[in-house]
């Protein structure tokens, strides 16, 4: 089933930045904290789960055309990254559980 | 003759504007209505070259040239150079320091990513600097 970033907001994910992009579609999930690995392996329209929270994450998200960034375990987004996410309209969501738990929810929703 | 040509400065250790050249390139290519795959591959190449200048060099420039049939990305810096290019091209090889690895850099995937996403790649390096040239064909 096709889901959008905004659908996650009812499932325990909260929006930290990038509201402009919440109607983006999510077609897959990619979990990794190594940026050049993400650059080459994540697919367009993936939701990207990472504990990296600095400004470069937004650049990678933009360039690899992922749908949204998900920060698990309440990782906090850097202020300058937040500003960049707003500017580029890249949704960044916060989640209290682990990456694994976030991925399970996404999996259930995409079934 | 290039239809478009522009040079961007890239400063060493300037993580705050990291990705800016690549984001600029993305905007330009989107405007030209190039195929998404071409845009994506060009951006990966540019991003990795840009990050390598920021992380590993004393600073340099990235020049973007767009021709009728290709994009050329030329990343040039002023040193300290790559001692063993063959080793540097191997997946997983990285000399990035610990504090940079913690930010998620240093997977040793940058140069292999450039190679994989371009149709032509050339590296020349000495202690006075490194020049990486990559082309993506339309
Ligand atoms: N412009 C450069 N100047 C000097 N050394 C470089 C330069 N580019 C790459 N290198 C050397 O080559 C190695 C491999 O580069 P590569 O981009 O593949 O990986 P990385 O930058 O270490 O990690 P990643 O790109 O995955 O974040 C680097 O660790 C560094 O030693
Ligand atoms: Mg690199």
At residue A1 the predicted structure's pLDDT band, cuts being 50, 70 and 90, is low
Contact in structure between A49 and A72 (CB atoms under 8 Å):
yes
Reported as a single tens digit per residue, the pLDDT across B54-89 is: 999 999 999 999 999 999 999 999 999 999 999 999
CA distance B77 to chain A (A): 20
- pTM, whole model, 2 decimals? 0.94
Range of the domain at B34: 4-137
Task: Answer yes or no: do B19 and A40 touch at CB < 8 A.
Answer: no
What is the mean pLDDT of the segment spanning A44-71? 96
Give the residue-averaged pLDDT of B15-19.
88
- Please state which of the four CATH numbers 3.40.1390.20, 2.40.50.140, 1.10.600.10, 3.90.25.10 is assigned to the domain occupying A3-110: 3.40.1390.20
- C-alpha R_g of chain A: 12
**What pLDDT does B18 receive?**
85
Q: What is the four-CA torsion angle of A50, A55, A57, A58, rounded to 10 degrees?
A: 120
Measured between beta carbons, the chain B residues lying within 8 angstroms of A33 are: 104
3-class secondary structure per residue, B42-70 = HHHHHHHHHHHHHHHCCCEEEEEEECCCE
Query: Residue B63: what pLDDT?
Result: 98
Q: What is the pLDDT of residue B11?
A: 97
Reading the block at residue B92, the tokens are: 């997983």
Q: What is the mean pLDDT of residues A63-91?
A: 96
What's chain B's average pLDDT?
96
Judged by CB atoms within 8 Å, which residues 3-32 of A form the interface with B?
Answer: none
Ligand 1 touching residue B114 (CB < 6 A): no
pLDDT value at B23 more than 80: yes
Q: What percent of chain B has pLDDT over 70?
A: 100
Spatial contact of A95 and A70, defined as CB atoms under 8 Å apart: yes
Mean pLDDT in residue range B88-105:
96
Name the token pair of A84: 């960049």
Q: Tell me which residue of A50, A65, A67, A34 sits closest to A103, measured CA to CA.
A: A50
pLDDT in tens, A17-36: 999 999 999 999 999 999 99
The pLDDT value given to residue A2: 84
Q: Is the ipTM of this complex over 0.95?
A: no
Cβ-based contacts of B54 with chain A (< 8 Å): none
CATH number at residue B15: 3.30.565.10
Structural domain count, chain B: 1
How much is the average pLDDT of A26-51? 96
Q: From the CB of B47, is ligand 1 less than 6 Å away?
A: no
What element of type H or E holds A31?
A: strand A28-31
């Amino acid at each position: 089933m096709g889901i959008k970033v905004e659908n996650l907001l009812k499932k325990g994910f909260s929006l930290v930045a990038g509201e402009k992009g919440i109607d983006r579609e999510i077609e897959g999930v990619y979990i990794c904290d190594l940026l050049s690995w993400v650059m080459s392996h994540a697919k367009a329209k993936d939701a990207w789960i990472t504990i990296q929270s600095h400004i470069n994450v937004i650049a990678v998200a933009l360039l690899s055309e992922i749908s949204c960034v998900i920060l698990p375990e309440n990782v906090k987004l850097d202020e300058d990254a937040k500003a960049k996410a707003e500017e580029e309209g890249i949704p960044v969501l916060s989640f209290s559980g682990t990456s694994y738990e976030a991925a399970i929810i996404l999996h259930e929703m995409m079934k | 003759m290039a239809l478009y040509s522009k040079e961007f400065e890239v400063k060493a250790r300037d993580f705050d504007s990291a990705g800016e050249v690549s984001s600029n390139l993305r905007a330009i290519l989107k405007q030209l209505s190039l195929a998404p795959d071409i845009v994506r591959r060009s951006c990966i190449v540019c991003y990795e070259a840009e990050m390598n200048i920021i992380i590993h060099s004393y600073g340099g420039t990235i020049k973007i040239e767009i021709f009728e049939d290709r994009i050329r990305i030329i990343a040039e810096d002023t040193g300290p150079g790559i001692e063993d290019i063959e080793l540097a091209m191997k997946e997983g090889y990285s000399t990035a320091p610990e504090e940079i690895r913690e930010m998620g850099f240093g997977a040793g995937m940058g140069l292999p990513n450039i190679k994989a996403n371009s149709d032509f790649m050339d590296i020349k390096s000495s202690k006075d600097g490194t020049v990486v040239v990559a082309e993506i064909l339309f």
